[in-house]
């Protein structure tokens, strides 16, 4: 009885460390590292890394107050449907591996992946993209969680009515100038409704 109790306490202590500190985070990363040089990694290899990292990634994003970012987005996005089938690294978003989730309001319109200027994403749609990186040496690190929210027409004409948000891996909302840090690049995809879309090989239904 006593031994079992102590063991449970030790596990709880480790969990607290993981939740709190760098030590726990480092350990998690090392545990998810790979031997394959990044250049040889397939998207399936990246999926294995994500499987290892995913709980820690989600727990990190959900730490602490979200301030101007709706906390429900951060809590709920894993329950939305995925628009990508495997993590892929298209070279944007700092070369990270990306996974895309879309809420019910946006899923059907988003997953048409329209690229002819007719993409019409309804207000209320929210798209989440989580990220992680794998270095050339196979070290894994967590990346930010990104959101785009489509708001009512006319709310934000400068951004085509998109709101942009970013949560750091430690849960802190990132105070960036979303106009220059996000919108300028996304507006280069005006023919896709401001959306970059996952690379074709990992789009759902393709």
Binding string, residues 34-73; x marks residues near ligand HEC by CB under 6 A:
----------------------------------------
C-alpha angle with apex 101: 48 to 35, nearest 5 degrees?
20
Contact status, residue 95 vs residue 132, Cβ threshold 8 Å: no
Examine residue 80 and tell whether it contacts ligand HEC (CB under 6 A): no
Q: Does residue 195 contact residue 189 with C-beta atoms inside 8 Å?
A: yes
Q: Which of 96, 129, 142, 150 binds ligand HEC (CB under 6 A)?
A: 129
Give residues 85-114 in contact with ligand HEC (rule: CB under 6 A): 88, 90, 92-93, 98, 100
Residues in CB range of 10: below 8 A, 6 or more apart: none
Interaction mask 134-173, ligand HEC, x per CB under 6 A = ------------xxx---------------xxx-------
Question: What is the DSSP code (8-state) at residue 170?
Answer: T
Q: Calculate the alpha carbon distances from 118 to 28, 111, 137, 192 in Å.
A: 43, 13, 42, 7
Position closest to ligand HEC via CB = 196
127 binds ligand HEC (CB under 6 A): yes
Q: Does 190 bind ligand HEC (CB under 6 A)?
A: no
**Which residue's structure tokens are 């996005």?**
77
**Who's near 7: CB < 8 A, 6+ residues apart?**
none
Binding site for ligand HEC (CB under 6 A): 88, 90, 92-93, 98, 100, 127, 129, 146-148, 164-166, 176, 178, 181-182, 185-186, 195-199
């Amino acid at each position: 009885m006593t031994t079992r109790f102590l063991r449970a306490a030790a596990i709880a202590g480790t969990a607290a460390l993981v939740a709190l500190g760098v030590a726990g985070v480092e350990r998690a990363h090392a545990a998810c590292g790979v031997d394959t040089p990044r250049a040889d990694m397939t998207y399936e290899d990246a999926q294995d890394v994500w499987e290892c990292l995913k709980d820690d990634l989600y727990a990190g994003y959900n730490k602490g107050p979200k301030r101007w970012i709706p906390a429900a987005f951060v809590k709920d996005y894993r329950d939305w449907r995925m628009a990508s089938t495997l993590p892929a690294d298209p070279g944007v978003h700092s070369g990270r591996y990306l996974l895309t989730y879309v809420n019910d309001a946006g899923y059907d319109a988003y997953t048409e992946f329209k690229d002819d200027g007719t993409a019409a994403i309804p207000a209320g749609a929210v798209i989440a993209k989580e990220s992680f990186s794998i270095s050339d040496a196979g070290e894994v690190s967590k990346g930010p969680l990104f959101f785009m929210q489509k708001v009512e027409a006319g709310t934000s004409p400068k951004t085509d009515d998109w709101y942009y948000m970013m949560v750091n891996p430690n849960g802190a909302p990132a105070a960036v100038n979303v106009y220059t840090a996000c919108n300028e690049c996304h507006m280069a995809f005006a023919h896709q409704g401001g959306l970059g879309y996952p690379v074709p090989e990992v789009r759902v239904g393709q």
